[in-house]
Amino acid sequence: MEQEIITRQATRADLDGIMRIETSCFGPDSFSKKQFVYLITKAKGMFYVVEYQERIVAYVSLLQNDHTPNLRIYSLAVHPGFRKQKLGQHLIDKTIEFARQHNHPKITLEVNVSNPAALRLYQKNKFEP
């Protein structure tokens, strides 16, 4: 599958695909379409999507802050039908690459403790509580 995926910067045209992933992963806690428009078009940082067969299957939103040199993983999600295919790891790798290219000394994030798969992914990559 890895050769068949495309990772690129998100655009407004990706909103429907992003929202499908968001609602399937986070249900009532989902961000709104308006929030994603801001993250894609105005926020300082990067928003990557992963495409497989012209379908958005995963994303990560990264935020840069003028008040700290750190990079923040604001949101990372993989469509339930595409999990266990290392897409989360792929997005972490892209995040680390982006942080290095932009001289961010540290990457921060928040994760729900009731999400063991996300906890394992972040711990495997040496993120600390």
Q: Would 108 be classed as within a structural domain?
A: yes
- Determine the average pLDDT of the residues in 112-125: 87
Which CATH number covers residue 95? Answer: 3.40.630.30
* Angle in degrees, CA 26, 32, 37, rounded to 5: 125
Number of domains in the chain: 1
Q: What is the pLDDT of residues 62-112, one digit of tens each?
A: 999 889 999 999 999 999 999 999 999 999 999 999 999 999 999 999 888
Q: Which domain holds residue 69?
A: 2-124
| Beta-sheet pairing, 107-109 with 55-65 | unpaired
Residue 129 has pLDDT above 80, yes or no: no
- The pLDDT score that the predictor gives to residue 37 is 97
The pTM score is 0.92
Q: What is the mean pLDDT of the chain?
A: 93
Residue 53 has pLDDT above 70, yes or no: yes
Q: Higher confidence at residue 127 or residue 61? A: 61
Contact between 93 and 125 under an 8 Å Cβ cutoff? The reply is no
Cα 120 from Cα 69, distance rounded (Å): 26
Q: Identify residue 60 by its one-letter amino acid code.
A: V
Question: Dmax over Cα atoms in the chain, in whole Å?
Answer: 39
Q: Identify residue 83 by its one-letter amino acid code.
A: R
